[in-house]
Structure 1
Amino acid sequence: MTDDTTDDWGGQAGAGGSDPEEMTLDELREEIRSIDRELVELIARRTYVADTIADVKAAHDLPTTDEAQEQAVMDRAGDNAQQFEVDSNLVKAIFRLLIELNKVEQREQR
Structure 2
Amino acid sequence: MNETRNDADARMVYVTCPDRETARTIASALVEHHEAACVNIVPGLESVYRWRGKVEIDEELLLLIKTRAARVADVQARVESLHPDELPEVVAVRLCDGSKGYLDWLDQQTTPQ
Q: Same fold (TM over 0.5)?
A: no
**Structure with higher strand content:** 2
Greater Rg by CA: 1
